[in-house]
Structure 1
Amino acid sequence: MCQPTLTKVAVTGTVGAIFLILGCVLIPIGNDLIAYFVEEDVAIQPGTTAYESWLRPPTPVYMQFWVWDLTNPEEFLSGGVPHMEQMGPYTYEELRDKDNITFNPNSTVSFSPKTTYIFRRELSAGPDTDTFRTVNLPAITLANLFRVDPRLQALQYLLNELSGATTVIEIPVAGMLWGYEDAYLKALEPRLGNVSTEFGIFMGTNATGEAIWTVNTGKADISQLGEVEAYDGMTSLEWWSDEYANMINGTDGTAFRPFLTPDDQLYVFVDDLCRSGFLSYDYSGKIRGVPVSHFSVPALLYANVSYYPDNQGFCTPAGNSPCVPNGLLNVSNCQAGNAPIYFSSPHFLFGDPSLFAAVSGMNPVRSEHETSFDVEMLTGIAFQVMNRLQVNVKVGPMLQMADARMVNEAYFPILWLNESSTIDKYNADFFISDVLVPQYILLGLIVVFIAVGGGLFVGAALTFVVVQYKKQKYRTTKSSTKEDLMKS
């Protein structure tokens, strides 16, 4: 009578065990399959989805500029604290291309990036012909070069008289960015011959090829994906005062290795910053329905050596300790003409109190002024990038500038920028259907197999125990009844 029941229990238990084993086996096999397809798809090589995105970003990239307008020039020139008010944003869309692409035998690819900037009035606070008041960068650069030689200072004084140059100038936004006619260069043109009379912070970078980069394709070792192997022929930099500071670490910011964890730091080499840096994990969230992790540049990246000794190498010249105040990076050595340029986060975020005491108008807000990457951890794809930077120039008393002899020392902000990109709905939906949905299906199968198999197996085991218990109880009862009959 119990045999058919035990047979059904055995069959159910066997089916459950098979389902359970299949579910458990699918875990490592599924992980291996996902890893295989991710590695195949994110490597920088023709035919992969990542390659097309690497060639040209699938979503718009914008460069936004905010310029700092000096509202009290007379007070500033008389030794007062300069008061700044930001104007902007002035937004340019970046059209990115890569020229001279060459795949090398050692799993690297060399290329020359080219960026074309197109002004987008509808995304801007005004036309880029808007003017603002700022300091005369060529004059200050020359004063910095001539500061230790009285004869050269006298020469600049004569040049000022000849050119009519002033310490404070009013120029268009586009002029500061892409070039404006400079009084010094215009005065020197008849004497120097065929030279440009224009100066601009980003002059000559619009729609022109840049330095040659060589990065790892990840084909041989996916953990090296996007790592910069050489920049402009250099495998290490030459601007800083120790080997650590001169190292070229990380990617160019367009790709990171897959399979990231919150314990990882994202290293990036930024040529405009003249150094490598890193971002640390902050928190997790979602962008257009895709889970991402938020990484940002920590305060210690701009920290003084008193707070972060590893930054000693960024003190220039060597041994100049404690270097610049917290929040600044002296990039004079890697600027044309050794211009006294200092980079910082916008509004002096993470800056020393002395920076705020010397310049008014700064109002740092971390969420608005930090540099951050929101990264999908499985693939290493950045779904949102906010690359923010402020350009400052060091000012102080300049004897050769008649109107600047009373200027107090300060790190004077010129402009700040945000190079940003956020994945659009189309590409986010494509990522969900192409990457996440297969994962969810696989996870669902694993859960179903383990849940159903485990349920069947446990149910069969319990049924077997109950049947055996009833069978034993039946035997015991039958035996007791027989004994009672014999006694009676």
Structure 2
Amino acid sequence: MSNRRTGVLALGLTIMVLGSLMLLMNLEITPLPSFFQLILQRELALSSSSRSFNIWRSNPVPIYLDIYLFNWTNPDEILDGDTKPKFVEMGPYRFHENKEVVQIQFHDNGTVSYKQERRWYFDSDYSDGTLDDNVTTLNAVALSAASTVKNWHWFHQTGLSAFLGTSLQKIHETKTVREFLFDGYESPLINFAKKMPLIKIPYDKFGWFYTRNGSDTFDGHFNIDTGQGNIANMGKVYEWQYSNETSYYEDSCKMVNGTSGSLFPPVKSKQEKVTMFSPDLCRSISFDYSSEETIEDITGYRYIGSEYMVDNGTLDPSNLCFCNGECVPSGVLNVTSCRFGAPAFVSYPHFFRADPYYASLVEGMMPKRSNHEFYLTLEPTTGIPLDVAARFQINLLLQPIEYVVLYRDVPRVFFPMIWFSNRATMPRHMAEELQLLLTVPCISLIFSGAVFLLGLTVVVFTLLSGAHAKPHRIQKLNEKHMIALKEKQSSH
């Protein structure tokens, strides 16, 4: 065999080996990461140069917040034991949300610390009502003050009772939507509470979203995994407010677990729960797999907030530590300690998936899965959210307080106050980019197969050409031998 043919054969074998290795890597038969995994690691893991960083830092996905308020139509009948509170839903009042990650600091241990800033802009075109609409509901400030002192000495309770009377406070109040939401409204009770050493109130007004617009402190300080070391840990929260546990719950319920809610790792299995930490609830919440959904021609796994997310130990005994001393039927979460002592309980809108007990106390609740389910849809290969609907309702617990005259004879009712739906769906142009990324494994597999076949072709062609050349050389040698023999005979 000539040196040239030997070199070609060696080249063909090298290409075959390379193609075989690439095929094994793409089929994940070897311990080596596939080319797609390498691309995911580079593009998804957070770093100052990764593609995901800019998307995470300034979210380009349109987000809107729909807010609904419950108008209390019969407040004057609250002391009538035979009449339930009646409600009419108002809204939606739509706000476009811009979210930006700020104060970003990468650390040598593969984590990143940050805060996030949110801004909301009212959209009158898609709102059913204006911010000047009047809404009647519970006097949240008076109720929060009374609930804070209900377990104090009777002397403090009667002191607050006297102030409620002299300041002409009522069980209900009527304000505009803008006052209840972002603008806030003043109350003499807030100034009164600030003078009490055992009460810490950081606000000068009350509003459900007061001081949140443009704030980078409300959601708190996060420290999460960048995914650089292991993409399966991307977004995992290690600390919130500089600690790996909160002071709002006890035992295992105080632990900070799950992802940050804006980043999710690739999904390993449908059966695994998706867990995230919610700064609004000061706790972690988990979602259960529900179904496969198609968003902009991309298949995703939908995870929903089930009955277990709002369970207080009835369905899962491990949730008992979320009771916060007020264990109630399954369906609402006690976030009193997280909300400066206000008797706040969070549920799904209209008490969806809650014990029938709650809806039986009031009139006007109409739970519906399509409108009130909390879910998120993730693309499993990358963990990228395709469609998210975060839906929660805030309820205040109204109950008798013996030494506070205003609340002495009231019924025990979980009052629906406000609910919101925070929606974000991947737009078409981003879905097309994601689809292109998801074709990389197929392209890589085809390319690997082509490389292997190229090498195989070179080897086979070289061997066949060598086999064909050998008889030809023998024939030429025979011809030369016959000519020489003839020449020898003629010379004799």
TM-score with structure 2 setting the length = 0.80
How many Å separate the matches in 2 of 1:276 and 1:358?
A: 29
| Alignment pair present for 1:229 and 2:238 | yes
Q: 1:238 to 1:401 in 2, by over 3 A?
A: closer
How many Å separate the matches in 2 of 1:162 and 1:333?
A: 29
Which of 25, 29, 35 lines up with 1:28 in the alignment? 25
**8 Å Cα contact 2:57-2:102 kept in structure 1:** no
Residue 177 (structure 1) aligns with = 181
Residue 3 (structure 1) aligns with = none
The alpha-carbon deviation at position 178 of structure 1 amounts to 2.1
How many Å separate the matches in 1 of 2:129 and 2:372?
A: 21
The alpha-carbon deviation at position 427 of structure 1 amounts to 0.9
| Alignment pair present for 1:375 and 2:378 | yes
| Alignment pair present for 1:156 and 2:160 | yes
Helix, strand or coil: the match of 1:302? Answer: coil
User: How much identity, in percent, do the aligned residues show?
Assistant: 26
Helix, strand or coil: the match of 1:300? Answer: coil
The alpha-carbon deviation at position 440 of structure 1 amounts to 4.0
Helix, strand or coil: the match of 1:378? Answer: coil
Residue 428 (structure 1) aligns with = 431
Comparing 362-371 and 145-154, the one that deviates more: 145-154
**8 Å Cα contact 1:373-1:384 kept in structure 2:** yes
Which one-letter code corresponds to 2:115 in the other structure?
Answer: S
Helix, strand or coil: the match of 1:164? Answer: coil
The alpha-carbon deviation at position 372 of structure 1 amounts to 0.8
| Alignment pair present for 1:312 and 2:315 | no
C-alpha distance after superposition, 1:403-440 (max 9, x if no partner): 6443210111110111111011111112222x123334
Q: 1:71 to 1:26 in 2, by over 3 A?
A: same
Helix, strand or coil: the match of 1:326? Answer: coil
**8 Å Cα contact 2:245-2:256 kept in structure 1:** yes
Which one-letter code corresponds to 2:240 in the other structure?
Answer: Y
The alpha-carbon deviation at position 188 of structure 1 amounts to 4.4
The alpha-carbon deviation at position 443 of structure 1 amounts to 5.4
Which one-letter code corresponds to 1:262 in the other structure?
Answer: K
Residue 140 (structure 1) aligns with = 143
Residue 74 (structure 2) aligns with = 72
Which of 184, 187, 207 lines up with 2:214 in the alignment? 207
The alpha-carbon deviation at position 444 of structure 1 amounts to 5.6
Q: 1:440 to 1:85 in 2, by over 3 A?
A: farther
Which one-letter code corresponds to 1:226 in the other structure?
Answer: G
The alpha-carbon deviation at position 100 of structure 1 amounts to 1.3
| Alignment pair present for 1:216 and 2:225 | yes
Residue 457 (structure 2) aligns with = none
C-alpha distance after superposition, 1:243-275 (max 9, x if no partner): x10111111111111253212221100010111
Q: 1:156 to 1:280 in 2, by over 3 A?
A: same
Helix, strand or coil: the match of 2:89? Answer: strand
**8 Å Cα contact 2:142-2:189 kept in structure 1:** no
Helix, strand or coil: the match of 1:169? Answer: strand
How many Å separate the matches in 2 of 1:107 and 1:187?
A: 45
**8 Å Cα contact 1:226-1:251 kept in structure 2:** yes
**8 Å Cα contact 1:347-1:369 kept in structure 2:** yes
Residue 344 (structure 2) aligns with = 341
**8 Å Cα contact 1:297-1:370 kept in structure 2:** yes
The alpha-carbon deviation at position 401 of structure 1 amounts to 6.1
The alpha-carbon deviation at position 62 of structure 1 amounts to 1.4
Comparing 209-218 and 362-371, the one that deviates more: 362-371
Residue 38 (structure 1) aligns with = 40
How many Å separate the matches in 2 of 1:70 and 1:439?
A: 57
Q: 1:447 to 1:394 in 2, by over 3 A?
A: farther
Which one-letter code corresponds to 1:387 in the other structure?
Answer: A
**8 Å Cα contact 1:294-1:375 kept in structure 2:** yes
C-alpha distance after superposition, 1:80-125 (max 9, x if no partner): 2111121111111111112211111111111111111111112211
Residue 167 (structure 1) aligns with = 171
Which of 290, 296, 299 lines up with 2:304 in the alignment? 296
The alpha-carbon deviation at position 179 of structure 1 amounts to 4.1
How many Å separate the matches in 2 of 1:307 and 1:30?
A: 42
**8 Å Cα contact 2:314-2:330 kept in structure 1:** no
How many Å separate the matches in 2 of 1:403 and 1:230?
A: 42
How many Å separate the matches in 1 of 2:203 and 2:311?
A: 38
How many Å separate the matches in 1 of 2:178 and 2:372?
A: 22
How many residue pairs get aligned? The number is 430
**8 Å Cα contact 1:69-1:134 kept in structure 2:** yes
Residue 55 (structure 1) aligns with = 57
Residue 467 (structure 2) aligns with = none
**8 Å Cα contact 1:163-1:186 kept in structure 2:** no
Which of 370, 389, 402 lines up with 1:386 in the alignment? 389
Q: How does 1:390-469 map to 2 (within 5 A)?
A: 390-398=393-401, 404-433=407-436, 435-442=437-444
The alpha-carbon deviation at position 202 of structure 1 amounts to 2.1
How many Å separate the matches in 2 of 1:180 and 1:284?
A: 42
The alpha-carbon deviation at position 42 of structure 1 amounts to 0.5
How many Å separate the matches in 2 of 1:308 and 1:190?
A: 39
How many Å separate the matches in 1 of 2:190 and 2:41?
A: 56
The alpha-carbon deviation at position 232 of structure 1 amounts to 0.8
**8 Å Cα contact 1:165-1:183 kept in structure 2:** no
How many Å separate the matches in 2 of 1:448 and 1:282?
A: 39
Return 5+ residue gaps in structure 1 as ranges.
1-14, 452-488
Q: 1:189 to 1:307 in 2, by over 3 A?
A: closer
Return 5+ residue gaps in structure 2 as ranges.
1-11, 29-33, 197-201, 454-492
